Structure 1
Amino acid sequence: MPDHLPHNGHAAWQPSLQVSEPAPGFFFVEGPASNWIIVRDGSGFILIDSGYPGDTDLVLKSIEHAGLKPANARAILITHGHVDHTGQAALFSRTFGTPILCSPEELAHVQGHEKHQVGLGEVMVRAWRPRVLCWMRHAIRAGALNADPATEARAWTAERLRDLPGAPEAILVAGHTPGNASIYFRDAGVIATGDSLVTGHPLSGHVGPQMLHPMYHSEPDTALSATHALDGVEASIILPGHGPALAMPLAAALAALRG
């Protein structure tokens, strides 16, 4: 297998500006519209989520910036099956044989057998709003309409996760999608919240703990209450799927989220 894949542009994006290390071995990558995370320890590295399909070059640059080779990823963990988080999963699986893992409840979504994505009609009725139009144009350019499903994805188990770098633990936070999950690193006090809790978004006018717009949730009436699954989790570094990293107790972020 080759150690690299073709790059696709994004000349303005620089890993020196968009990649940070908020905790030792945790590389937080802010993509143009969604984030991904590299977790490294002495046993190797994993990715959590992987941007849009059109973010290939950025994902590769971020891995190389961390001093790693894409072919050596031990797994990609998918917080949920939306296209802005599964972008490179099929590519890494096909090119490098990288294991793609997600929650059992999300497997059919990640494999492409089910769809829990915001519909074009839901977007079009709001497209008169400048923020929605801007987001929609970026999503289309980033390959949202022709993404390959990760057909070789498999459901994680607690045992499988514990053997990966950082010993991640999965916390099911259904509501955004049926199998949406956050990934907790107990020893490091770090949590990757995916879209369970975000700190910004192109449709949002502010930065800080928040929920995505209801149109993105498969169960908008329960997405907020589902965050109670995170109650009691002792983390002080929050790495969201959208928006900047946040250094604050998760309990305080959840309190702000719920008003």
Structure 2
Amino acid sequence: MQQQTTWNPATSLSVTAPGVYFAEGPAANWIVVRDGTGFILIDSGYPADRHHVLASLRHLGLDPADTVALLVTHGRVDHTGSAAYFAEEFGTPVLCAPEELAHVRGTEKHQVSLAQVLGRAWRPRVMRWMLHAIKAGALAAKPVSGAQAWDAAALRALPGRPEAVSLPGHTPGNAALLLPGAGVIAVGDSFVTGHPISRSGGPQMLHRMYHSDPAEALAALRKLEGVDASVILPGHGPAVRLPLGAALAAIQGRVPETP
């Protein structure tokens, strides 16, 4: 996990495909997708990552006020951290799956519970993650009351022409976003390639305490079988260049860790 005080877009922002930029944040990631029609953001880190998100756009020579839309893979605070700011400051449309809209708007809550965390807080990795999340503003995150549900036509009209794949289980409306022209898929927390409480890297499921329905989250990955993507951009951990099918096979053959 990178330290928040040392985060630098020059070293933490990478080009994963033409027009697709991956920002590996202090503990959660975001993505910039750019083409001749403008640019969008996918996810936006924790609330305290806002200045990192803004810095990453400016590093690319982009004006944050010109963000065409901010797409949210799911409504947890480490992915919606800057969404309310963009909506209020720049009028940026914030879009998510219809099934996730109540979560993003703040009328439902699908976060990991305090009891789940405290029950494991004696483990150093969990304690460090919990302290970082608190410092990063997890307890003071602001919902996006004006968020709207996407549909296929609205997504196709955006830079990168993203396509949503519904993958419920992490949260009820969790989704991945495929960028078919680039061979890239943003999987959010459907699966990750690393996490502060994990002892290893590579494609893996988050610990079960993070999922609203762990069994459904794992089963939903079957919907990604046959999807043509060779660059995987997770919500946590580094980007990986790996056929999506190989990543799914690795996850299925992996024994879950017990932090």
TM-score range, shorter chain: over 0.9
Is residue 30 from structure 1 mapped to residue 27 from structure 2 by the alignment? Answer: no
Distance 1:49 1:132 in 2: 23
Distance 1:119 1:44 in 2: 38
Is residue 39 from structure 1 mapped to residue 33 from structure 2 by the alignment? Answer: yes
1:53 to 47, 55, 58: 47
Q: Name the TM-score, length of structure 1 as normaliser.
A: 0.96
Partner of 1:194: 188
2:148 to 151, 154, 174: 154
- Displacement after TM superposition at 1:22 (Å): 1.1
Deviations 1:159-217 (A, max 9, x none): 00000000000000000000000000111110000001110000111110000010000
Structure 2 letter corresponding to 1:136:
M
Is residue 229 from structure 1 mapped to residue 223 from structure 2 by the alignment? Answer: yes
Partner of 2:257: none
Distance 1:94 1:10 in 2: 24
Distance 1:127 1:231 in 2: 36
Any residues of structure 2 matched to 1:1-259 within 5 Å, and which? 10-259=4-253
Structure 1 letter corresponding to 2:222:
H
Moved over 3 A (4+): none
- Displacement after TM superposition at 1:221 (Å): 2.0
Structure 1 letter corresponding to 2:23:
V
Partner of 1:5: none
- Displacement after TM superposition at 1:10 (Å): 4.3
SS in 2 for 1:134: helix
Deviations 1:59-98 (A, max 9, x none): 0000111110100000000000000000000010000000
- Displacement after TM superposition at 1:28 (Å): 0.2
Structure 1 letter corresponding to 2:212:
S
Give aligned pairs, total. Answer: 251
Structure 2 letter corresponding to 1:147:
A
Q: Is the 8 A contact 1:27 1:66 kept in 2?
A: no
Distance 1:77 1:10 in 2: 23
Q: Which runs of 5+ in 2 are unaligned?
A: 254-259
Structure 1 letter corresponding to 2:19:
G
Identity %: 63
Deviations 1:199-246 (A, max 9, x none): 000011111000001000000122111111111100000000000000
RMSD: 0.9
Distance 2:202 2:219 in 1: 18
Distance 1:140 1:128 in 2: 16
Distance 1:12 1:220 in 2: 34
Distance 1:229 1:54 in 2: 33
- Displacement after TM superposition at 1:11 (Å): 3.7
Distance 1:91 1:217 in 2: 26
Q: Name the TM-score, length of structure 2 as normaliser.
A: 0.96
Q: Is the 8 A contact 2:4 2:26 kept in 1?
A: no
Q: Is the 8 A contact 2:175 2:187 kept in 1?
A: yes
Distance 2:134 2:5 in 1: 18
Structure 2 letter corresponding to 1:183:
L
Q: Is the 8 A contact 1:79 1:180 kept in 2?
A: yes
